[in-house]
Amino acid sequence: MEIIHTSVLLQECLLYLAPEKPSSLFIDGTLGEGGHTHAFLSRFPDLKAIGIDADNEIQQRARERLQEFGNRIEFYHGWSDEFFASYSTEKQKPDRILIDLGISLFHYEKSGRGFSFRSDEPLDMRLESDSGESAADIVNSYKEDELANLIFLFGEERYSRRIARSICQMRNSAPFSTARALADCIYSSVPSDYRHGRIHPATRTFQALRIAVNSELSRLPRLLSLAMNALALDGRLGVITFHSLEDRIVKNYFRDLSKSCICPPEMPICKCGGKPRAELLTKKAVSPTEEEVRNNSPSRSARLRVVKKIVVGDHIKW
């Protein structure tokens, strides 16, 4: 089987998330084609793993790639926040959790679901195919101002209003069905200097649609706190993000976990217990080296942040 995706910040993940004791459990909350998990299981022969992915198609690829590890790995098909929400307290607590957010190169190049604006594929973008609204449902049905807000909020696109207006005008003649048709519409709606910028003018709108279709930003805070809850004492959670919207959520959450008091400033005395719940192992986010970016350009925006859990207790709000 041809592996399409190159794992990002792999050496850094192996360093920060190396297990310290035998028979540790590693949970990969975003398994993809299984690159990170493959490296962990190969490097640490006593390690066991659980691999989670919302996308069944890519998970089949990971199953094939990881079959050499036999029963050292189990698979779960679904969203990782839902996995952690139902993770039994009777089960072994994970010592290491890795979340490598977003989508895999497989999705852009082979999924046939319109993630790439260069493709003539159906405009779908769902990771969990057949469930919920597709990207085409959104662009063909949202009101112009709803669409503009979505493109602005999730894509940080400064021409969101022009793009939304143009989409709504064009869909009156025929609804959008392919990624290329939408990309062409966006291209023609923006000023000419923007068309020839560093990135394709449809990049941010496509990011916004993918985030909305898969509820990526609303899942993330829940995923982080459920993962922290499941983690063993002294366990570590590492998260790789690819854009500022998700990185901000992870950065603020980890900062709050490591602070001694998280009471609102207007509270006269501390009511939260005043103890840090985690130690920040990456004071600054870890970025890929120049060499990694040269060899794998999609890694350029990757940022890794890692915390270590230092308290237990169900009374703690994660």
Q: Which is nearer to ligand SAM, 148 or 216 (CB)?
A: 216
Distance CA 74, CA 252 (A): 32
Q: Are 223 and 135 in contact (CB under 8 A)?
A: no
Count of residues in contact with ligand SAM, rule CB under 6 A: 23
Distance CA 165, CA 301 (A): 30
Q: Which is nearer to ligand SAM, 185 or 220 (CB)?
A: 220
Smallest separation, CB 76 to ligand SAM (Å): 9
For residue 35, state whether it binds ligand SAM (rule: CB under 6 A). Answer: yes
**Long-range pairs for 252-258 at CB < 8 Å and ≥24 separation?**
253/221, 253/224, 253/225, 254/278, 254/280, 254/305, 254/307, 255/280, 257/228, 257/307, 257/318, 258/307
Residue (of 246, 229, 222) closest to 301 by Cα position: 246
Given candidates 4, 27, 52, 163, which one binds ligand SAM under the rule CB under 6 A? 52
Q: Which is nearer to ligand SAM, 6 or 149 (CB)?
A: 6
Q: Which is nearer to ligand SAM, 53 or 157 (CB)?
A: 53
For strands 303-309 and 236-241, give the pairing.
antiparallel
Distance CA 122, CA 112 (A): 7
Q: Which is nearer to ligand SAM, 147 or 211 (CB)?
A: 211
Given candidates 34, 51, 114, 235, which one binds ligand SAM under the rule CB under 6 A? 34
> How is residue 81 written in tokens?
């926040």
For residue 207, state whether it binds ligand SAM (rule: CB under 6 A). Answer: no
Helix, coil or strand: residue 284: coil
Q: Which of residues 109-148 bind ligand SAM (CB under 6 A)?
A: 127
Given candidates 16, 19, 26, 33, which one binds ligand SAM under the rule CB under 6 A? 33
Distance CA 17, CA 282 (A): 12
Q: Which of residues 62-81 bind ligand SAM (CB under 6 A)?
A: 79-80
How many other C-beta atoms are found inside a 10 Å radius of the C-beta of residue 225?
17
For residue 241, state whether it binds ligand SAM (rule: CB under 6 A). Answer: no
Stretch of residues binding ligand SAM (CB under 6 A), selected from 54-62, 187-195, 200-208, 262-270: 54-62
For residue 102, state whether it binds ligand SAM (rule: CB under 6 A). Answer: yes
Residues of this chain that bind ligand SAM (CB under 6 A):
5, 7, 30, 32-36, 52-55, 58, 79-80, 100-104, 127, 219, 223
